Structure 1
Amino acid sequence: MARWEPGARERLVVAALDLFTEQGYDTTTVAQIAERAGVTKSTFFRYFPDKRDLLVAGQEALSRLLTEGIADAPEGATPLAAVAAGLERASGAMGPLNRDLGPRLKAAIAASTELQERDALKSVGLAAAMTTALIARGVPDPIAHLAGEFGVLAFKQGYAEWSEADHETGDDLAPYTLAALESLRAATGSLG
């Protein structure tokens, strides 16, 4: 096992998702994940405190990209236009590996209550990051919270559609997340 082989973090995530799908989250050990990824257990722990945290790999970067996009939105942009700017920025960082992992991630989460809880916490964290960025732009608190929640829903819906779409097209994630946001905006008219 190479100690400093490049791509260890990504290989650990892929190995974990494969093992979670094959044998279940609860029966998968850190040692098995490390072995499948071709690294040592100590390398695993350099990247992740435990196997639950594999699910939120990249959450900090995603939150940062969303908030930077919101902060950089044009002055006078509506709250949802600012969220759209955040979604575009974050979506631009998603590549083929993110797309390929989507179905496996969805299956692993569906099969584990613990991962469902971790996924819910991830959503809360992303919504909080967007809400904070919107408040920093001067958006009133309740509107910022609602727009942040819309942003999370749009990202999750767009990501799910993108990861399940034909991979041969080479589509980027941004059109999917922006279409989901627009669909949510349109749906608000039905709320009464």
Structure 2
Amino acid sequence: MGRWEPNAQGRLAQAALELYVERGFDRTTVAEIAARAGLTERTFFRYFTDKREVLFGGSGELEAVLVDTVAAAPASGSPIRMVADALAAAGARIGQRREFSQQRQRAISANVDLQERELIKLAAMATSLADALRRRGIDDPVAGLAAETGVAAFKIAFERWITAAEDEGLERVIRETFDQLAAVTAPTARRRSR
């Protein structure tokens, strides 16, 4: 094999996902991933610290998008709108890789340890969002509540997106989900009349 292989990281990620879905995460080795991608184990470790990183490696970049979007939000926006916009921006990036996201979710759903890691990733997203809101001068419990609620809405939107028959676009589904959240929390006409 040559020293440089085009799209080695992408090939490794695709090979890993295929094997995780076919055989299960625990029964897949790094050697098998590298062999399926036509690369070496050493090449695998140039891109990933371990085989879980194939599934969770982009978390830092995703958190940066969230934090940057909240930081750039207009001061007139509500905390939940800032969170919604940040998650929609992240969704625009994730949404470019629907098939990868579907395979990733199948692999995670089949493994309890990966499910735990996914929950930790989501908790880290909520923490990053809450911290970004606090830096904007939004105090607790509002910052924490907006961040946690936003991540819950994101989870629902993501699930809708990956299970839908057609790709409606993750960003769009996230925005629709936040609109539904607003409708759920809006006072009803009956409550207003009391």
Give TM class, smaller chain: 0.7 to 0.9
Give me the identity figure in percent: 42
Instruction: Compute the TM-score of the two structures, normalised by the length of structure 2.
Output: 0.87
Residue 159 of structure 1 deviates from its aligned partner by 2.2
CA-to-aligned-CA distance 1:5-43 (integer Å, 9 cap, x gap): 232222222211111111111110011111122222112
Distance 1:147 1:49 in 2: 33
- Tell me what 1:22 maps to: 22
CA distance in 1, matches of 2:122, 2:112: 15
State how 1:156-171 maps to structure 2 within 5 Å: 156-167=155-166, 171=168
**CA deviation string 1:45-98 (max 9, x = no partner):** 1121111222212111111111111111111210011012212321222344x2
Contact 2:12-2:33 within 8 A present in 1 as well: yes
Q: Do the aligned partners of 1:13 and 1:54 also contact (CA within 8 Å) in 2?
A: yes
1:150 deviates by: 2.0
- Tell me what 1:109 maps to: 108
Q: Distance in 1 between matches of 2:28 and 2:92?
A: 32
Instruction: Look up the match of 1:67.
Output: 67
Given that 1:70 and 1:86 are in contact with CA atoms closer than 8 Å, whether structure 2 keeps it comes out as yes
Out of 163, 175, 184, the residue aligned to residue 187 of structure 1 is 184
Give the corresponding residue for 1:135. Answer: 134
- Structure showing greater Rg: 2
* Equivalent residue letter for 1:15: A
Structure 2 gap ranges (5+): 188-194
1:44 maps to 2:44: yes
**2:83–2:129 Cα contact (<8 Å) kept:** yes
2:190 aligned partner: none
**Unmatched segments (≥5 aa) in structure 1:** none
Q: 1:178 to 1:49 in 2, by over 3 A?
A: same
The residue type paired with residue 158 of structure 1 is A
Q: By how many angstroms is 1:120 displaced?
A: 1.1
Partners of 1:28 and 1:37 in 2: how far apart?
Answer: 13
Q: CA–CA distance in 2 between the matches of 1:42 and 1:27?
A: 20
- Contact 2:161/2:170 (CA < 8 Å) preserved in 1? yes
Taking structure 1 as reference, are residues 103 and 84 closer, same or farther at Cα in structure 2, changes over 3 Å only? same
CA distance in 2, matches of 1:10, 1:179: 31
1:186 and 1:147 mapped to 2: Cα distance? 16
Contact 2:95 2:171 survives alignment (8 Å): no
Count how many residue pairs are aligned between Structure 1 and Structure 2.
187
Q: Tell me how far apart the structure 1 counterparts of residues 175 and 100 of structure 2 sit (CA, whole Å).
A: 21
